[in-house]
Homo-oligomer: A and B are copies of this chain.
């Protein structure tokens, strides 16, 4: 039933839509909107309050200025150095201000998002991803959590199947389960999904279960493991998606937190808090691992993008990149659920990004990546020192906020007795011991996919270097090292 769309190689995904998505359509009332700005028609059709009653006359935001030579956390103390966005209610007649006026952003608007913000994000998407079909579009969301929920509603009926990494973001699993959609785990190693294992799983798919419609993956700086899929693996996985006719949903909040390989301390210069002078836009663009959508000739990738990790979570703006017919279904769902992200958020984000420009925004992302590199390097340095190698190991992440410390349950003296040879019992006991020591990492088992069984006696903890400054990181990681040594009785 796969039909060819006007865009040569892009496939229709119609046969993969859920019943509710198939039932969603443009509704009549929305069609009258075309008359809203028709000068010949008095529009008494919609319950739009007049903007002269909106109780915000103007809003001014103060932000750091590109190119962030002082670093992104040294924010301007003096307003004269700030990027100032003064948002007024009404566009000045004949002015060259391109901001979204508050009378527009605080009014009901398109469920796809404000056109000016969409336009900036499309340009950014083109700059970064070089999508090999021209049938794509974007819609705003209120963040990737909402976007994933909307994706499930758009494609999955109860009884349907989705593929997830063996360990994945707990909230994403919690979104799936109540919908009576079945999660099946895909094998991962230190570098993410193993393409051969994925192909094998699908070649030998149990015919009593529905074939998966979606593969949900966090390909860059995976949550919780910290792994990042290489370009080669992404391409191989994309081919498997085409072969087995499923959609790849790439949840990519950490995409710009890419930091290259970790060089142990003696081989690199000391981390420094000063900005990176040697990274140009070209180097940034070259250094980024290509996204799944970069390989998307058939239009079967849905990219979930977010500002939560690069600007701020409370912005509650994300966006979906996908083929047009898919975006249309998301917009119909927006119309009867979230409507659109907050107008304050759209105005603030748009005014900041357009003042920075595409170039300034890249500078921001470069410097942000640099900050995370410093934190990653520092974390690995400390962990190398404090972790007992006989029982614990860590793979340095190349992107994102997370690292995972793998521990061998069988090396615990009481493994076979007190813990009944169950690594998860060791994990739980170590979790409690480490919290007592004053350090919280999250047990890896909390991120397990349904239908997954661990293959060996190891378990892991997810940690992050994102949330605290370096000094606190050092205290925390040292405490964890101590907790492990005590727990494994290595001080004897």
The interface of chain A, by Cβ under 8 A from chain B, is 19-21, 23-24, 27-29, 32, 35, 40-64, 72-73, 75-76, 82, 89, 102, 105-109, 142-143, 145-146, 149, 170-171, 174-175, 177-180, 223, 308-309, 311-317, 335-346, 348, 352, 364, 368, 371, 401-402, 435, 438-442, 446, 462-469, 472-473, 475-477, 479
Q: A32-B442, A42-B439, A342-B344 are in contact. Are A146 and B59 (CB under 8 A)?
A: no
Q: Copies of this chain, how many?
A: 2
Please tell me which one of the listed residues B56, B63, B317, B339 contacts residue A61 in the complex, with CB atoms under 8 A apart. Answer: B56
Beta-carbon contact of A59 and B60 below 8 Å: yes
Closest to A353 in B: B55
Q: Is the CB–CB distance between B48 and A56 below 8 Å?
A: no
Instruction: Using A343-B314, A472-B42 as known contacts, say yes or no to A63 and B73 having CB atoms under 8 A apart.
Output: no
> CB within 8 A of A440: which of B43, B56, B60, B442?
B43
Q: Which of A45, A73, A336 has the most CB of B within 10 A?
A: A336
A58 near B62 with CB under 8 A, answer: yes
A442 to B48, CA, bound (A): 14
The CA of A345 and the CA of B345, in the complex, are separated in Å by 7
- In the complex, what's the smallest C-beta–C-beta distance from A354 to chain B, in angstroms? 13
> B335 touching A174 by the CB < 8 A rule?
yes
Bound Cα distance from A76 to B313, whole angstroms: 33
By a CB distance below 8 angstroms, the chain B residues around A178 are 19-21, 23-24
In the bound complex, residues from chain B placing their C-beta under 8 Å from that of A72 are 53, 55
Min CB distance A38 to B, Å, is 8
Given A29-B171, A311-B55, is A47 in contact with B466 using a C-beta cutoff of 8 Å? yes
Which residues of B have CB within 8 Å of A341? 316, 342
